[in-house]
């Protein structure tokens, strides 16, 4: 039996990965899961409860990936599981309207993933404005959406290729890419194409090149520019929606976009995406308007049930202050620790979203994110894994806390981080 330094076996995960690789490209159904960003074998999970997950070798971890965001209430949250069971018992899909869709909606059109939402949002913005070009930011990720898979973040970065093979030049010919936090570059894009830009799409807090915050004035600047130039502002809040505040970044920062894309938490761990905005814009979707949008499983009743149960639980008093307190406790704990051990770092927390870079200088965009020490991150990741903490398997991802992360879990994480740092620095 192969064992790592702390006696934890990953034998079953290893052989499960070997078997998976024979039938699934790369052994995974979503790129980041392959651990390319940190090396080693992906851990195969068997179950989760609260803030903890168990792998198929029987190892337990405190989880900071939380299915990449949807599980803000924790794994297997009883109210959500009950709602899913009840909905499934009534039938899994009808391809016809159900009342649950209306209950969850506030002028939104539902689809089945974040990528579908951003793709429909672009089409809507183009249809609405009659313009063709889109501005996106390097390092922002908007799902596996061809037109936006240029300088994309997340797993596109993990594999070291922010641009995907198979995306034609024609498909991205109308995608203008500018650095995050660079209003001058956005202004220059409008100067170069004064009447052609349909929309700016932005992760208002970027969570797919690591966790990178907008500089003061950046989002307000985008709002002002788009308004003045007749373009729409799309906030991709698939990750930040219901996470950094009940109303996402737009509520926190007091800046209202024209179109919002949502997903992840909205589906409570089931496949959901949504495009939201004022009726004046949304009504351009078919059947009332002329911008096509459709999906066989859109507004799926089980996903709606999970979403309704999740949002209902999030509405209970004290939820968001608690999430923020946990996020801050984790970020501050790590910050103190890295400080004491003189490890160059940048740490951020907003609500239930946390991130850190092993970087000397502030990270404000993709270039500065890429200057972080990814090799050290990979070693830190594995040292934490051995100590029962599951971080994102890449420096270029954010971390997520849930309602199930309590003081004890956060403090155990900080202790594990101290032990990991001691081990790493001793062998450096």
Ligand X SMILES: *Cc1c(COP(=O)(O)O)cnc(C)c1O
Asked if residue 143 binds ligand X (CB under 6 A), the reply is yes
141 is catalytic: yes
With CB under 6 A as the contact rule, the residue among 141, 190, 358, 400 that binds ligand X is: 141
Asked if residue 118 binds ligand X (CB under 6 A), the reply is yes
Site for ligand X in 213-252 (CB under 6 A): 236, 238-239
**Catalytic residue (one of 64, 77, 128, 141):** 141
With CB under 6 A as the contact rule, the residue among 74, 114, 214, 355 that binds ligand X is: 114
Question: Contact region for ligand X (CB under 6 A) — 34-42, 159-167, 203-211, 288-296?
Answer: 203-211
How far is the C-alpha of 348 from the C-alpha of 211, rounded, in Å?
7
273 or 299: CB nearest ligand X: 273
Asked if residue 397 binds ligand X (CB under 6 A), the reply is no
How far is the C-alpha of 327 from the C-alpha of 8, rounded, in Å?
28
264 is catalytic: yes
How many residues make contact with ligand X (CB under 6 A)? 15
SS3 298: coil
Do 389 and 47 contact (CB within 8 A), yes or no? no
> Min. distance of Cβ 139 from ligand X in angstroms?
11
161 is catalytic: no
Asked if residue 72 binds ligand X (CB under 6 A), the reply is no
Asked if residue 142 binds ligand X (CB under 6 A), the reply is yes
How far is the C-alpha of 304 from the C-alpha of 209, rounded, in Å?
30
DSSP per-residue letters across 62-101: EESSGGGTT-TT-BT-HHHHHHHHHHHHT-S--SS--HHH
How far is the C-alpha of 138 from the C-alpha of 116, rounded, in Å?
20
Binding mask 253-292 for ligand X (x = CB under 6 A): ----------x---------x-------------------
The token duo for 268 is 């409570």
With b meaning 16 or more CB within 10 Å and e meaning fewer, what string describes 231-257? bbbbbbbbbbbbbbbeebbbebbebeb
- Euclidean distance between the first and final Cα of the chain, in Å? 27
Site for ligand X in 346-365 (CB under 6 A): none
> Min. distance of Cβ 98 from ligand X in angstroms?
21
**Catalytic residue (one of 63, 264, 370, 390):** 264
- Positions annotated as catalytic residues are 141, 236, 264
């Amino acid at each position: 039996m192969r064992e790592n330094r702390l006696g934890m076996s990953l034998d079953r995960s290893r052989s499960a990965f070997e078997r998976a690789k024979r039938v699934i490209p790369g052994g995974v159904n979503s790129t980041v899961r392959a651990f390319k960003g940190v090396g080693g074998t992906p851990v195969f999970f068997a179950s989760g409860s609260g803030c903890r997950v168990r792998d198929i070798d029987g190892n337990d971890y405190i989880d900071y990936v939380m299915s990449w965001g949807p599980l803000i209430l924790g794994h297997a949250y009883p109210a959500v599981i009950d709602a899913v069971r009840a909905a499934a018992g009534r039938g899994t899909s009808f391809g016809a309207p159900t009342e649950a869709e209306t209950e969850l909606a506030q002028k939104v059109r539902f689809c089945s993933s974040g990528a579908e939402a951003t793709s429909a949002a672009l089409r809507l913005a183009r249809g609405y404005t009659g313009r063709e070009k889109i501005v996106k930011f390097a390092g922002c990720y908007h799902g596996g959406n061809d037109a936006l898979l240029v300088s994309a973040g997340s797993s596109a970065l993990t594999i070291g290729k922010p641009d995907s093979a198979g995306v034609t030049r024609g498909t991205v010919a109308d995608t203008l890419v500018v650095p995050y936090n660079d209003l001058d570059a956005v202004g220059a894009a409008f100067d170069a194409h004064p009447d052609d830009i349909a929309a700016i799409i932005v992760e208002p807090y970027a969570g797919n090149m690591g966790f990178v915050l907008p500089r003061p004035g950046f989002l307000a600047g985008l709002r002002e520019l788009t308004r003045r130039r007749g373009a729409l502002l799309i906030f991709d809040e698939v990750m930040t929606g219901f996470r950094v505040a009940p109303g996402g970044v737009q509520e926190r920062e007091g800046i209202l976009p024209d179109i919002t894309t949502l997903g992840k938490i909205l589906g409570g761990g089931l496949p959901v995406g949504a495009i939201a905005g004022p009726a004046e814009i949304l009504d351009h979707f078919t059947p009332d308007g002329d911008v096509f949008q459709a999906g066989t499983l859109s507004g799926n009743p089980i996903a709606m049930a999970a979403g309704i149960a999740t949002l209902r639980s999030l509405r209970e008093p004290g939820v968001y202050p608690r999430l923020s307190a946990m996020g801050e406790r984790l970020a501050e704990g790590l910050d103190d620790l890295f400080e004491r051990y003189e490890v160059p770092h940048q740490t951020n927390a907003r609500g239930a979203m946390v991130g850190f870079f092993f970087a000397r200088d502030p990270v404000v965009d993709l270039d500065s994110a890429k200057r972080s020490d990814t090799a050290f991150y990979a070693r830190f990741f594995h040292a934490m894994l051995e100590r029962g903490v599951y971080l994102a398997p890449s420096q270029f991802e954010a971390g997520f806390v849930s309602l199930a992360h309590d003081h004890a879990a956060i403090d155990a994480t900080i202790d594990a981080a101290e032990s990991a740092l001691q081990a790493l620095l001793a062998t450096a």
